[in-house]
Amino acid sequence: MKKLKVLVFALFTMLFLGFSQTTAEAHAPNLHVGVSGEDVKELQTKLKKLGYFNTSATGYYGPVTKNAVIEFQRDFNVSATGFTGPLTRARLAEVDMMAHVVNGEARGESYTGQVAVAAVILNRIDSSKFPNNTYNVIFQRNAFTAVNDGQFNYQPNASAYQAVKTAVKGSDPSLGATYYYNPRGVTDTWIFSRTTITKIGKHVFAK
């Protein structure tokens, strides 16, 4: 069942990230001021975890939600329109995937350690040695233990989401690492051949 959930989530996200968009489609106001419903409530919940929406999720898209969306769009390099179209949804899907990895891989670690894990994902996207998008980096075969063992499916808390936000805004406690591992849990000693950069909590960061 866990593997099925991962597959369904991955396919759903791939539809977002692989969707060919014209400029008009990219800014289609799917959610905007005046709209209400569960989609809005879900959006507000994620924005709250990211620190943009500082009140209870009501399910109504009013000025407070619009301003929170604008803040998110500015930080995550999306046109600051204030409504939630496919581009903003796609970016939120990427953030959601990363938060699931951070939660699954670094739950219980310090906030700095969580930011470092998020930064590794971004460093891999930027590296020519890895896939060049969030989905393919995260779901690359055997790339992340949390994907393999089902912990990816656990619901991330606010700390995981904000760690992603902090990394996206430029913080990299991993110092450019593209690998990390817990020495006590290593099953493939190949990882020891990587050059160690730093250690944060239980994780060794390397490249």
| DSSP notation for 23-89 | HHHHT--SB-TT-BSHHHHHHHHHHHHTTS--S---SB--HHHHHHHHHHHHHTTS---SSB-HHHH
> Domains in the chain: how many in total?
1
pLDDT digits (tens, 9 = 90+) for 85-98: 999 999 999 999 99
- Establish if 108 belongs to a structural domain: yes
pLDDT band of residue 29 (cuts 50, 70, 90) is low
Q: How many percent of the chain have pLDDT more than 70?
A: 86
**Residue 41 lies inside a defined structural domain of this protein:** yes
pLDDT of residue 20: 37
Give the global pTM. 0.85
Predicted local confidence at residue 78, as pLDDT: 95
Structural domain for 1, as ranges: 1-9+32-173
Per the prediction, the chain carries an average pLDDT of 89
The average pLDDT across 171-189 equals: 91
Domain assignment present for residue 43? The answer is: yes
Find the CATH number of the domain harbouring 77: 1.10.10.2520
